Amino acid sequence: MKIAVVGGGSTYTPELVSGLSRDRDRIGVTELVLQDIDPERREVVGGLAERMLRNQGYDGALQVTDDLDRALDGADFVLIQIRVGGQDARLSDETVPLACGCIGQETTGAGGLGKALRTVPVVLEIAERVRELAADGAWIIDFTNPVGIVTRALLDAGHRALGLCNVAITTQRHVAKLLGVEPQRVLVDQVGLNHLSWVRRVLLDGEDVLPDLLAEHGDELARDAGVSGRLLDELGVLPSYYLHYYYAHDRVLAEQAEGVPRAATVAEIERELLELYRDPNLVEKPALLEQRGGAFYSEAAIGLVGAIAADTGEMHVVDVRNAGTVEGLAAEDVVEVPARVDRSGATPLSQPRVAPELLGLIQHVTAYEKLALAAALSGDPVVVRKALLTHPLIGQDALADELADRLLEAGAKHLPQFRAPEGVA
């Protein structure tokens, strides 16, 4: 089996390599290719990956390259983990909205739209090369944000793709720790969209223990989610961390106005990580990587690859077509829910009707995601403004107009679809 990682110079990659090596007997990887356009990252991250694999007894091939076609040729799985524009673009996604009095976050709200506009066309170009060069039946696993919008773009273009986020597996690990059990015994049954989801059941050996968890650990779970304990009591569900941008909007906005952008913190962590990765004696992922974000990404990614490759039918939380799973959404919408995964792909588990206080927000953001994708593909500033006008964190004409201008100006270098054709004023 050949696995290609596009964006293999990411500081996440050692986490992924660790998981690949650990599960190599189940997955049977014979060739791993790390592709990246950044020469420094290729050298540094690729070097650490080689030492890690050698230390773990991996006897397959490892290639590190800038050649996308070479990486994709004959690949069975293609993992996409890119950041168009790098950390500078992330900083822009966080600070441009904030300057307009809006939440500054790279996947939520206006910042998420800026990221989608840059990212969707690039991922679709990569996917077309996958279609032409990869093995028959190859799968694309997308970890590139905004995952829901990117996954929808891939599926709309007819690609065999699944979206993957680390929120569900992080919740599973945290809940298992609270319960004092092995994570494999816990299933997090969540419903919603990428970065907009609620856990409605926590199954321990098949029995729902969420009510007990909320009763015994509600204050801690509320703090982790950035919301009040009263809200958890009244909703009776566990919202993802990203919901606090909606449920505690004014407080978060005030904190962001006074604080240091997360992008600046992550950029510093990445500099430190790359320096650590240069150590020729380092053969394991460093503890600092846990502060980078994306916890348990490797376990989620490798678990998903293994379920497809081995045709196991295991349960994984993925981004897939709704196809009637969530009542109140269209079949072609993309949701993030538990699914049974095997060689044929992911079949979402049946979901009971979603309460209106949750469904209303899901429908609202789904409408925005449709427009965000249309804007990314069309290069039409009017559609950009419509997307911003539709998002529940924005929703005002003058604000949408200002944000659209600022986002397009800030991202101009990476937005060729918005440039007028040559000779057209």
- Catalytic residues, by residue number, are 242
Tokens, residue 19: 């998981």
Tokens, residue 96: 């441009």
How far apart (Å, rounded) are the C-alpha atoms in residues 144 and 119? 8
CA 420 to chain centre: 31
Count Cβ neighbours within 10 Å for each residue of 131-141 and write b for 16 or more, e otherwise: eebbbeebbbb
Residues 6+ apart with CB under 8 A from 69: 129, 133
Which residue type is seen at 352? P
Is residue 368 within 8 A of residue 391, CB to CB? The reply is: yes
How far apart (Å, rounded) are the C-alpha atoms in residues 391 and 416? 24
How far apart (Å, rounded) are the C-alpha atoms in residues 233 and 215? 8
How far apart (Å, rounded) are the C-alpha atoms in residues 16 and 299? 8
Reference 379, options 411, 413, 418, 405; nearest CA is 418
How far apart (Å, rounded) are the C-alpha atoms in residues 205 and 297? 23
